[in-house]
Amino acid sequence: MLFLVFKKTPIGNNQQQCRFVYKWDRQGGVHRNHNYRSGCYLKAGVLNGLYDFQSTLSAVHRPYKLTHALLQFLEQHNAHRRSLQLHRFHSAFLAVSIGLFWGRMASNATIGHKCPPAMKPTSNGIFQGDNPLDFALPLAILQICLVLVLTRGLAFLLRPLRQPRVIAEIIGGILLGPSALGRNKTYLQAVFPTKSLTVLDTLANIGLIFFLFLAGLELDPKSLCRTGKKAISIAIAGISLPFALGIGSSFVLRETISKGVHATSFLVFMGVAMSITAFPVLARILAELKLLTTDVGRMAMSAAAVNDVAAWILLALAIALSGSNNSPLVSVWVLLGGCGFLIGSILIVRPIFKWLAKQCREGEPVKELYVCATLATVLAAGFITDFIGIHAMFGGFVIGVLVPKDGPFAGALGEKIEDLVSGLLLPLYFVSSGLKTNVATIKGLESWGLLALVIFTACFGKIVGTVLVSLSFKMHLREAFALAFLMNTKGLVELIVLNIGKDRKVLNDQTFAIMVLMAIFTTFITTPIVMTIYKPARKRRAADYKYRTIERKNTNSQLRIMACFHSSRNIPSIINLLEASRGIEKGDGLCVYAMHLMELSERSSAILMVHKARKNGLPFWNKGQGSDSNHVVVAFEAFQQLSQVSVRSMTAISSMSDIHEDICMTAEGKRAAILILPFHKHQRVDGSLETTRTDFRLVNRRVLKDAPCSVGILVDRGLGGTTHVSASNVSSVITVLFFGGRDDREAVAYGVRMAEHPGISLMVIHFVVEPAATGEILRIDMINNFGNKPSSLDEECLSELMKRTSLDDSVKYEQKFVRNAAQIIDVIREQNRTNLFLVGRMPDGEVALALNKSSECPELGPIGSLLTFSDSPTRASVLVLQQYSSEVRRDLDSPANGLPENDSESN
Identify the structural domains of the chain with CATH numbers, from first to last: 224-423+441-533 (1.20.1530.20), 559-615+628-770+792-887 (3.40.50.12370)
Amino acid at the residue 346: I
CA distances from 373 to 350, 367, 384, 559 (A): 13, 10, 16, 51
Spatial CA neighbour of 493 closest among 148, 164, 215: 215
Handedness of CA 321, 322, 324, 326 (dihedral sign): positive
Angle among Cα 20, 25, 30 to the nearest 5 degrees reads: 45
Residue 879 host element (H or E): strand 877-882
Q: What pLDDT, on a 0 to 100 scale, did the predictor assign at position 491?
A: 80
Q: What pLDDT, on a 0 to 100 scale, did the predictor assign at position 326?
A: 58
Per residue, the 3-state secondary structure of 19-86, as one string, reads EEEEEECCCCCEEECCCCCCCEEECCCCCEEEECCCCHHHHHCCHHHHHHHHHHHHHHHHHHCCCCCC
CA distances from 177 to 238, 440, 524 (A): 32, 11, 20
Helix (H, G, I), strand (E, B) or coil at 88: coil
Taking a C-beta distance cutoff of 8 angstroms, is the pair 580, 760 a contact?
A: yes
Q: How far apart are CA 234 and CA 302, in angstroms?
A: 9
Helices (H), 644-740: 659-669, 694-706
Residue 2 host element (H or E): strand 2-10
Amino acid at the residue 790: P
Residue 816 host element (H or E): strand 811-818
Taking a C-beta distance cutoff of 8 angstroms, is the pair 649, 682 a contact?
A: no
Q: How far apart are CA 496 and CA 458, in angstroms?
A: 17
Q: How many CA atoms lie within 13 A of 323 on its CB side?
A: 21
Q: Whole-structure pTM over 0.85, yes or no?
A: no
Q: Which residues, 6 or more positions from 348, have their beta carbon under 8 angstroms from its beta carbon? A: none
DSSP 8-state class, residue 876: S
At how many degrees (to 10) do helices 136-158 and 426-436 cross?
A: 90
Q: How far apart are CA 665 and CA 159, in angstroms?
A: 23
Q: How far apart are CA 530 and CA 136, in angstroms?
A: 45
Q: What pLDDT, on a 0 to 100 scale, did the predictor assign at position 864?
A: 86
Taking a C-beta distance cutoff of 8 angstroms, is the pair 570, 716 a contact?
A: yes
Residue 461 host element (H or E): helix 444-472
CA distances from 557 to 140, 553, 562, 753 (A): 66, 9, 16, 11
Spatial CA neighbour of 160 closest among 633, 527, 684, 600: 527
Taking a C-beta distance cutoff of 8 angstroms, is the pair 465, 242 a contact?
A: yes
Taking a C-beta distance cutoff of 8 angstroms, is the pair 757, 582 a contact?
A: yes
Angle among Cα 399, 403, 407 to the nearest 5 degrees reads: 160
Angle among Cα 391, 170, 609 to the nearest 5 degrees reads: 75
Q: How far apart are CA 437 and CA 435, in angstroms?
A: 6
First-to-final CA distance of the chain: 65
Quick one: 860 exposed, middle or buried, by C-beta within 10 A (0-12, 13-18, 19+)? Answer: buried
CA distances from 513 to 170, 175, 874 (A): 12, 13, 66
Give the rounded distance of the alpha carbon of 658 from its chain centre: 16
Q: Which residues, 6 or more positions from 699, have their beta carbon under 8 angstroms from its beta carbon? A: 597, 656, 659, 660, 663, 677
DSSP 8-state class, residue 888: P
DSSP codes joined into one string, 98-126: HHHHHHHHHHT--TT-PPPPPPPS----G
Q: How many CA atoms lie within 13 A of 7 on its CB side?
A: 7
Strands laid side by side in the 760-769 sheet: 620-621, 646-654, 590-599, 559-565, 674-678, 710-715, 877-882, 836-840, 732-738, 760-769, 811-818
- Would strands 590-599 and 48-51 be described as parallel, antiparallel, or unpaired? unpaired
Angle among Cα 344, 350, 355 to the nearest 5 degrees reads: 140
Spatial CA neighbour of 397 closest among 330, 342, 454, 321: 342
Helices (H), 756-875: 791-807, 821-830, 846-849, 861-867
Per run of 10 residues, the mean pLDDT along the chain (length 907 residues) is: 41 40 42 40 34 36 46 48 39 45 44 62 88 90 93 90 86 91 90 90 92 82 75 90 91 87 84 85 79 80 83 81 69 87 93 90 82 94 91 90 84 84 87 89 90 93 92 90 91 85 88 92 91 68 69 82 85 84 67 83 53 41 40 72 78 80 87 90 75 85 91 85 65 88 90 86 87 49 41 82 82 86 84 88 76 70 82 83 74 46 36
